[in-house]
Structure 1
Amino acid sequence: MMAVFAAGVSAGAVNTAVGSGTLITFPVLLAVGLPPVTAVVSNALGLIPGSISGVVGYRRELRGMRRLIMKLSLACAFGGLGGAVLLLTLPESAFDGIVPILVGFALVLVILQPRLSKRLRERHHEGTARRDGGILLFGGLMLASVYGGYFAAAQGIIYVSMMGILLNETLQRLNALKNVLAAVVNAVAAAVFLFVADYNWTAVALIAVGSALGGYAGASVGRRFSPTVLRLLIVAVGSVAIVHLLVN
């Protein structure tokens, strides 16, 4: 079970700094013998402390965003609830076809984000564009959170790609906001799983402690990355996510 703890530490750090930590913990949980759905549920429960510690680590970048956080968290909460319900009702292979496409599209948005953001601000005569991203961002994050409540791999990458285009914020602040929204989705999904799903408490505890340690450390490391380096890391991790999803 030390492998599960180590995976939790790594996932917490990766989730906070970039995203897609589930691609570390999920295969390890399968390797120690947990059934797929039980592994997804245990992973979702265990990563909550990591999400919270990541938010604490990035708290400086979140200043002045309270109203935006409240609005976008509402969208993510509804989406996360829907995703958790789908996990418990749909066949395991239901999202196999669409998930790699969704992640790939998000990576394209991350790459093109600086150019797209510039054009969007020019179209809205910079400074008049909506600070909260409008209904497009609200709806997009809700749909992304359905996927997040269902599986969560590359969920943060999808969030950053959407917000990077529709919000006039630095990549570091978007990364901090991404951690808040991921924590909301994980918490809502976990509230559902606690009552109606099977999970392994040992795995949950090991990932929880590990991810809490890794999440705080990930914020310290991630803050040092330049926008270009952070964008390259997001694309690299997302590319690995696509390969993993396609071959498994």
Structure 2
Amino acid sequence: MTGLEQLAVLGAGFGAGVLSSTVGVASLLSFPVLVALGLPPVVANASNTVGLIPAGLSGSFGYRAELREHPRVTRVVLTCCALGAVVGAVLLLALPAAAFEAAVPWLILLACALVGAQPWLARRLARYRDAEAGPRHHLSPLTTFFAGLTGIYGGYFGVGAGVMMVAVLGLGTDVELRVVNALKTLSLLAGNVVAGLIFVVVADLDWAVVGLLAAGSVGGGYLGARIGRRLPAGVFRGAVVLAGVVVAFVML
């Protein structure tokens, strides 16, 4: 790579790190840059996944205060996504990706609709809940199930998994959106770590690209967490919906 190409990968890693800790669509920026620089798509995808693991680590560290607010929820989400990602990775090795690709954009658009409609849906659902039960600062069995499915999806395909996790936690709990954002970042980290370990063993990686992405994404992930924890709920929700719609239409 030339010096300019190295700077481009480093910048893409930084920008992807910011996106990972805010709206959760890091690969929307970094993957096209790698392909544009001439990497084969499979090598670009694997290198991108491994290179962005530091973004999840620094982003989760940046959200450490939010992740400590509801430790039980944090543990459940981390467990669901880590185990789900293992199942998803096994499915990825056993099934052709094309079997699922056609449905992915529509799943992402559905998640966007749920995120956008979350305040209205929450008010409607509150009418049917026991008023004495108090805020839902835990994951119900149904919410845990959908969190696990999102983890499986993250390990199998991954694109838009952050948007889906925001939809699941936004509807299934009453925790603040800044905490949901932190949990989303942690869930993406779990999926990337599992997929990254598999790619290190079975996939071709461009280690120069991995190193540059990692170097850029560390700072980007932490900065994104600093931004994400200060975003007003409405702005965050709108940004997630916009990012998800862009991803879905790019895939379509």
Say which SS state the counterpart of residue 188 (structure 2) adopts. Answer: helix
Say which SS state the counterpart of residue 98 (structure 2) adopts. Answer: coil
Say which SS state the counterpart of residue 100 (structure 2) adopts. Answer: coil
Is 2:175 the counterpart of 1:169? Answer: yes
Aligned residue number for residue 121 of structure 1: 126
Alpha-carbon shift at residue 241 of structure 1 (Å): 0.6
- CA spacing shift, 1:34–1:226, aligned 2, 3 Å: same
Q: Which of 170, 188, 198 is the matching residue for 1:182?
A: 188
Say which SS state the counterpart of residue 133 (structure 1) adopts. Answer: coil
Is 2:135 the counterpart of 1:104? Answer: no
Q: Which of 209, 214, 220 is the matching residue for 2:220?
A: 214
Is 2:159 the counterpart of 1:153? Answer: yes
Is 2:201 the counterpart of 1:195? Answer: yes
Q: Which of 202, 208, 233 is the matching residue for 1:227?
A: 233
Contact 2:136 2:175 in 1 (8 A): no
- CA spacing shift, 1:18–1:127, aligned 2, 3 Å: farther
Aligned length: 246
Say which SS state the counterpart of residue 212 (structure 1) adopts. Answer: helix
Identity percentage of aligned residues:
41
Q: Which of 24, 30, 36 is the matching residue for 1:19?
A: 24
The one-letter amino acid of 1:9's match is F
Q: Deviations over 1:20-53 (max 9, x none)?
A: 1111111112222222222222111111110111
Q: Which of 47, 50, 55 is the matching residue for 2:55?
A: 50
Q: Deviations over 1:209-239 (max 9, x none)?
A: 1111101111122222111111111111111
Aligned residue number for residue 32 of structure 1: 37
Q: Deviations over 1:71-90 (max 9, x none)?
A: 12111112211222333443
d(CA) in 1 for partners of 2:132 and 2:209? 48
The one-letter amino acid of 1:159's match is M
- CA spacing shift, 1:37–1:29, aligned 2, 3 Å: same
Deviating more after overlay: 27-36 vs 16-25: 27-36
Contact 2:137 2:175 in 1 (8 A): no
Structure 1 length-normalised TM: 0.92
The one-letter amino acid of 1:98's match is A
Say which SS state the counterpart of residue 198 (structure 2) adopts. Answer: helix
Structure 2: gaps spanning 5 or more residues: 1-5
Aligned residue number for residue 244 of structure 2: 238
RMSD: 1.7
Structure 2 length-normalised TM: 0.91
1:49-88 equivalences under 5 Å are 49-88=54-93
Alpha-carbon shift at residue 138 of structure 1 (Å): 1.7
- CA spacing shift, 1:154–1:126, aligned 2, 3 Å: farther
Alpha-carbon shift at residue 68 of structure 1 (Å): 1.5
- CA spacing shift, 1:198–1:84, aligned 2, 3 Å: farther
- CA spacing shift, 1:126–1:47, aligned 2, 3 Å: farther
Contact 1:16 1:215 in 2 (8 A): yes
Alpha-carbon shift at residue 130 of structure 1 (Å): 5.0
Contact 1:88 1:197 in 2 (8 A): no
Deviating more after overlay: 55-64 vs 170-179: 55-64
The one-letter amino acid of 1:240's match is V
Structure 1: gaps spanning 5 or more residues: none
- CA spacing shift, 1:104–1:147, aligned 2, 3 Å: same
Say which SS state the counterpart of residue 123 (structure 1) adopts. Answer: coil
